[in-house]
Structure 1
Amino acid sequence: MIKLFSPVRQDLFSKGSFSGQGGKTARYFKYAISEIILVVIGILIALSINNWNENRKHASTEQEFFKSIKNDLKQDLDFINYVQSYSKPKIAAYNLLSSTYSENYDSHKTTIDSLMAVYLFAGQRTFYPVSGAFKSSIAGNEINTYTHKKVIQSII
């Protein structure tokens, strides 16, 4: 831009644009206004590039959030399946004990109850959901700026 207007500026200064002649002063003001317009256009281009880059980073952050949530839910599902497979033999043993001793349940009640309690609750697994991505997104207050509002509400 500077090279574009450099000859005009040199011509105006060399001819003495402020010598009182109106035409030369008008030419200098046209030059100054065109320089201002070019600077404004440059600033607007820089702002639009910056906005585009911010939107791209925001979309990338949102996609990363969804990937993390999906990964957390997969870990939860894997653990739920593990707890279910761990509990199936215990449930089968409980059903066997209760059906075997159901006719004489009153006479063996304390023995059966204590055996069941020891067997069923020994090494009991408790489910705690993985929620690292969700908690970090809430802590950073990023979740309010995501564009997929219905999906976010479902996650919440």
Structure 2
Amino acid sequence: MIKFFRKIRQDLLSEGKTRKYLKYAIGEIVLVVIGILIALQINNWNENRKIDAKRQIYYRQLLVDLETDKDYCKNRILDFEAILKKYADYENEFQKGALNLKTSLENINDLEIGGIHLFFKTNTIKTLISTGEINLFSQNINNSLSNYLDFQNELIKGNNSNANTMLDMIAQSSMLGYSYFRKRTGNQPELSKELNIQDNIPKIFIQLEAYHSWKATTLKTSIRNLNNLIINADSTITIINNELNK
């Protein structure tokens, strides 16, 4: 093709048709420019198509993650509500009549220790932010995803910080002879006496009371925050689906 155009130009020059040659040369340049512009447009179209395909994949990954988070929140809410129900039953025992330390300690020992940490396993939003590919999305979705992750992180931080503090309280009780060590010394009255474990029981009970009271307060707050995270997830899901349906 190039040789063909070159031959035409050479023929025009050899025939002395300079004006026609110039017109032809200009026309050829225009055609080349148009060809380049078309090629660039096609290239841009292909790149945009690739970006859109990647965006669609991320949309679907995000929808899966958000639904997974919602299910996790709902299950943890059920777990926390069950723990609070047992704690309420324990508190009701104080309304039924006189209690002694032995019975009260037995009642509080029926309550669950630990088990309130939160661990979300989804990470698509974190990956998008760390790689910068969150900028593939509109500002509306970008803000929604960032706000969702910020709220989730604050929820985890607040809940797990309290959970760790409460585990420290249980560790302190264990050092006073609570739980398994106290049970092991049950058949060793002389050893138990020498260790003064019986004298520690009032302090152990008070620490356990503080632990479960703090735990109940933490769980109530976390249940409220988990419900808010579900609402946040639903809002983000709606925004993403609106983009997918455009």
TM-score interval (norm. to shorter): 0.7 to 0.9
Shift of 1:135: 1.3
- In the alignment, is the contact (CA less than 8 A) between 2:61 and 2:124 conserved in 1? yes
Deviation per CA, 1:39-98: give whole Å up to 9, x if none.
Answer: 111110011111112222222222322222221111111112222333343332222222
**Compared with structure 1, are the counterparts of its residues 105 and 63 closer, same or farther at alpha carbon in structure 2 (3 Å cutoff)?**
farther
Normalising to structure 2: TM-score of the pair? Answer: 0.49
Q: How many residues align?
A: 145
Correspondence for 1:75: 68
- In the alignment, is the contact (CA less than 8 A) between 2:128 and 2:134 conserved in 1? yes
Correspondence for 1:13: 10
SS at match of 1:50: helix
Shift of 1:111: 0.2
Structure 1 counterpart of 2:24, which letter? Y
- Which of 115, 131, 146 pairs up with 2:109? 115
Provide the rounded CA distance (Å) in 2 between the counterparts of 1:100 and 1:9: 103
Correspondence for 2:35: 42
Normalising to structure 1: TM-score of the pair? Answer: 0.73
Shift of 1:141: 1.1
Provide the rounded CA distance (Å) in 2 between the counterparts of 1:37 and 1:67: 45
Root mean square deviation of aligned Cα: 3.0
SS at match of 2:31: helix
Higher helix residue share:
2
Shift of 1:103: 4.4
Identity in percent: 28
Shift of 1:113: 6.8
Correspondence for 2:80: 87
Structure 1 counterpart of 2:141, which letter? V
Q: Pick 1 or 2: higher relative contact order, CA cutoff 8 A, min separation 6.
A: 2
**Compared with structure 1, are the counterparts of its residues 12 and 80 closer, same or farther at alpha carbon in structure 2 (3 Å cutoff)?**
closer
Q: Gaps spanning 5+ residues in structure 2: where?
A: 147-246
- Which of 141, 153, 156 pairs up with 1:151? 141
Provide the rounded CA distance (Å) in 2 between the counterparts of 1:55 and 1:85: 45
Provide the rounded CA distance (Å) in 1 between the counterparts of 2:9 and 2:88: 102
Shift of 1:99: 0.7
Provide the rounded CA distance (Å) in 2 between the counterparts of 1:113 and 1:26: 108
Structure 1 counterpart of 2:140, which letter? K
Correspondence for 2:133: 142
Q: Gaps spanning 5+ residues in structure 1: where?
A: none
